[in-house]
Amino acid sequence: MDHIALEKSVTAANYDPLPVVLREAKGVWAKDIEGRRYLDMMSAYSAVSLGHGHPRILKAMMEQASTLAVTSRAYHTEVLGPFLDRLVRVTGLDMALPMNTGAEAVETAIKAARRWGYRLKNIPNNRAEIIVAENNFHGRTTTIVGFSSDESYRDGFGPFAGGFKLVPFGDAQAVADAITENTCAVLIEPIQGEAGIVVPPDGYLRELRALCDRHNVLLILDEVQSGLGRTGRWFAHQHENIRPDGLILGKALGGGVYPVSAFVGTRDLMKVFDPGSHGSTFGGNALAARIGLEALAVIEEEQLVERSAEMGGYLMERLRSMRSNIVKEVRGRGLWIGVEVDTNVVSARAVCDALLADGVLSKDTHGTVLRFAPPLTITRDEIDWGMERIERVFARAIH
């Protein structure tokens, strides 16, 4: 069977996958239908941060599925409370609202910020503004793409909701200039992922925290990709020792096997919700809660945050030492690294295809940046295996 042709014939073309058909995966390794092995250097955009098929996650999943899997929030369960209790303790915040996907958690944050603005800051009704960054990526819903600066995300999907102000990423003064009496929140990624693993200047988040405190504005951070150990800290904002008012989490929270997300915030922010003001049939169901609880336990008990810092430093050093005329910049934190290529020589997608042929799974963004974000369980030997092939592919581009 031609699996790629079949998939293309029945699937809307909203993705452009690499030409490989995967059948199984374990840890940092995947195999295709022909039995060929690949090193996963993407981990499903951080969703598989714990590695493929982690035994503790699978055990918890099967145990919970065999007793009580999905029931709506119309009833209490014995697992949701412990899951969210651990989550708020890890984040240093007070309360959480569970959802399914990262985009849903972002939508939850937007609703919370606006209602907080009206009820606690006394912004006139329907006048609340949220400041966002250019080149942001917070998801694909119509509200979210409406405040994207990438026209390809917006094309053909309007009209869009108002109430958002775009400013340059990494420019605290631009945020200061955009704040008005109707500003309820600043919503940003502490490191921009889809934009190409863009790290802001040192002190940027601290400046935003100070600005938000000065003007009674919420600071909400989207850490769907950067959170839960990816950057060598539990959360990327901890590199600057700040505390947000709201934190958006997802991907790795589901242990690589199930969609789990949450919006976590201070008590003052989260108390704006009341029965019927927000909801989700599957958000916070028993299976999701059990998996999320186990994922948090695995990250802590297997010291994956520390491993990300150590292995990320090693991978960064290896990537920066490569000799190739196509590399313009190597940037990132922890096990989240972007390699910007010179598109006058080759596209990042072409490099991805070459890496695939050599047994390494990666994915470009915007045709300009290669992303390397392996599971946090990766070892030095496995990095060396991948780097041997990455260096070989990059060396071929030297003329």
- CA-to-CA distance for 139 and 104, rounded, in angstroms? 8
Active site annotation includes 40: no
Cα 162 to Cα 128, 181, 343: the distances in Å are 9, 17, 35
- Catalytic residue chosen out of the listed positions 83, 147, 165, 251: 251
Determine the Cα–Cα distance for residues 227 and 248; give it in Å rounded to an integer: 9
Told to judge if 251 belongs to the known catalytic residues of this protein, a careful annotator would answer yes
Distances (CA, A) of 395 to 88, 270, 338, 399: 46, 52, 18, 9
Give the Cα separation of 199 and 4 in Å (integer).
36
Asked about 147 being catalytic, the answer comes back as: no
336: three-class secondary structure by DSSP: strand
The encoded tokens of residue 192 equal 């921009």
Is residue 146 within 8 A of residue 154, CB to CB? The reply is yes
Active-site residue identified among 83, 137, 169, 372: 137
DSSP string, 198-254: BPPPTTHHHHHHHHHHHHT-EEEEE-TTTTTTTTSSSSGGGGGT---SEEEE-GGGG
Q: Enter the tokens of residue 73.
A: 């929030």
Report how far residue 95's alpha carbon sits from residue 89's, in angstroms, rounded to the nearest whole number. 9
Name the DSSP letter for residue 200.
P
- From the candidates 222, 273, 363, 364, give the one annotated as an active-site residue: 222
Query: What are the structure tokens assigned to 266, written together?
Result: 């201070």
| Residue 227 contacts residue 236 (beta carbons within 8 Å) | yes
Burial class, 20, CB count within 10 angstroms (exposed 0-12 / middle 13-18 / buried 19+): middle
List residues bridging with 384 in a β-sheet.
none
Q: Which residues, in sequence order, are bridge partners of residue 186? A: 131, 219
Cβ–Cβ under 8 Å, residues 337 and 330? yes
Enter the tokens of residue 76: 């209490």
Angle of helix 380-395 versus helix 304-320 axis, rounded to 10 = 30
- The residues assigned a catalytic role are 137, 222, 251
